[in-house]
Amino acid sequence: MDPINVDFTRGKKGDSDNGNDTVSDVYIPPKNVARRIIINILLTLVGAAIAYYLMIPALNPKAIELYMFIGIVCLIYVGLTVISVKLSTHPEYTVYVKKRAKVPFGIIAAMVVVCILGWLVGVQLFRAHSYSNLLKVEDGNFAEDVAEIDFSSVPRLDTTSANNLAVRTLGDLSDMVSQFVVSAYTSQINYQNTPVRVHALAYGDIFKWLKNTKNGLPAYIIVDMTTQKSEIVRLEEGMKYSPAEYLNHSLLRHLRFQYPTYLFGNPSFEIDESGHPYWIVPILDKTIGLFGGTDVIGAAVVDSIDGSCQLVKTGNPDRKQLPTEATVNDEQWQWIDRVYSADLLNEQFNYYGKLSNGFINSLIGQQGVKVTSSGYNYLALNDDVYMYTGVTSISSDQSIIGFVLLNQRTKETKYYAISGALENTAMTSAQGAVQQYEYTATFPLLLNISGEPTYFMALKDSSQLVKMYAMVNVKQSTVVGIGYNLAECTEKYATELKQNGINLDIDIDSMSEEPVEEPDAPETKEITAVVTEIRSVVTGGETYFYLKLSEGDSYYKLSAANAEKVVILNVGDTVTLTVDADASGDIIEAKGMK
């Protein structure tokens, strides 16, 4: 570039009388301006293409990613303009750069305004009624709607336990575990009238992807939620389209190139009744303002092997529809179990519970305001999968005032006004009944046991293996039945209910199943010595005493609930404690006291 002679004390344009103009006030265009602009535009288009390929935003004004993409493109152009004139070494081009940047920064400013206005139009303060109407809720009759469940179809596992089983199953196959891992994409579905959880695989790392992507993912894993059996299903032809892919076969990129304007939700992995693998990708719409009121208007059903795609719509007349006649209610598509995610259904019910009487009421007064409890689970009814969650008053989280069932395929929602214990309370009651094993309870399922709403949960050890089962009455959380199999659990639950004036009409003898293996009782030993020190602490509402004996330096931990006489123990008394034979350490848990 030829040197430019500039008078840095007076500008060529806009001279002022005081002679204090600087080079930054002077418009000095570089040579070949038109060529520079064309080159910058072409390079910006290249950068935009790369950014679009990586970001794959929907070309839809309701997609916040679109505004981010446009903003990045504008910044690319400004950056190229700065580089093309070497501003760091030629500060005299500052005014030129500012002039070239006016349009891209103007576009960014306009988009910010549009986003703010679009958000304000959809803010809950002004649109509470619209948010509360996202979900239509009907009152249900528990005894009629929730049939007495067939115990052979009761899921015994939670998501974590099922995932652990899937990982172990893959680990038993040396030809796969070296190349693949169990992915995070898993769904609980009804497969051939049985609740199962299906797990997709993913490549171990990018190098293993390079090695295997030509043939695709060779299998998927099914975990039976009732029998707790896990198997790997090998495919004749691998799955070549999935979120685990990196380039054009990446699931969302594959869909974006076919449907550039659709908003897509998180995909779920499912299989049809013949075991063929598909990806179910919800198609979303923002129904309130530009960004509010997320709802599902349909789904893209993608064959994971050949990538073919078909659209189905939800059939909701209140929502924008897709250019297809197929709906999720058609017989062809009734094998699909998950169109609406549990998180979206949970969010929409909370809008309904909080905003039905207006936004102000949700903050002040809170008349009739209710929200979902701290978790949810899945229930199989009429060959559909329902999300179950308790409902509690906004002013109290100690008990439920009802519960709700939401169909994940059709969004049909029914509310049941039944007061009782919160799920966490039921879990605590179940764990307390077997506290000597230190088992943890899964989040409860809701069962109909002879008309009695009943929480059912599995009790797991530290390895996430199911060891026992528990039933807790929703209305009376102190009524707990524990057993190593469903028959024993139900029998003890029935006995507890009978003692509280409720008789169950159920044929327990008809339940035939393989019992859960009872844990081996550890070997124990007895220690007799004089008490030299006593300390106590209250943890979780339970009082524990720590005894130091004349023999050894360890403290022996003993629960007042397991040994009531410990509360009247004094220093100098002689006691006999029962402990595990191999117990050692500074604190040893005692099983009993004489």
User: pLDDT of 538-555, one tens digit each?
Assistant: 654 567 788 888 888 888
What is the number of alpha carbons within 13 Å of residue 79 lying toward its C-beta?
9
Q: Can you give the pLDDT at residue 517?
A: 45
The one-character DSSP state at 215 is T
Q: Which two tokens stand for residue 411?
A: 């969004």
- Which pTM does this prediction carry? 0.75
Q: Poorest-confidence range of 71-80, 111-120, 355-364?
A: 355-364
Q: Which of 245, 162, 236 is nearest to 202 (CA)?
A: 245
Distance CA 105, CA 520 (A): 71
User: pLDDT of 269-287, one tens digit each?
Assistant: 999 988 999 999 999 999 9
Residue 2 one-letter amino acid? D
The answer to whether domain 524-593 has CATH 2.40.50 is: yes
Strands (E), 434-499: 440-441, 445-449, 452-460, 466-473, 480-483
Q: Which two tokens stand for residue 249?
A: 């076969």
Give me the phi and psi of 57, to 5 degrees please: -75, 150
Write out the DSSP string of 334-398: TT---SS-HHHHHHHHHHHHHHTT-HHHHHTT-TT-EEE-S--EEEEETTEEEEEEEEEETT--S
| Percentage, residues of the chain above pLDDT 90 | 29
**Going by C-beta distance under 8 Å and a sequence separation of 6 or more, which residues neighbour residue 482?**
430, 433, 434, 459, 468, 469, 470, 489, 492
User: pLDDT of 79-112, one tens digit each?
Assistant: 888 888 776 667 767 777 788 888 899 999 999 9
Higher pLDDT, 152 or 58: 58
State the residue for tokens 């891209």.
104
Q: Which of 158, 175, 192 is nearest to 234 (CA)?
A: 175
Q: Which two tokens stand for residue 335?
A: 């094998």
In the chain, where the domains are located: 23-121, 155-339, 343-417, 421-505, 524-593
State the residue for tokens 């007061």.
419
CA angle 460, 464, 469 (to 5 degrees): 25
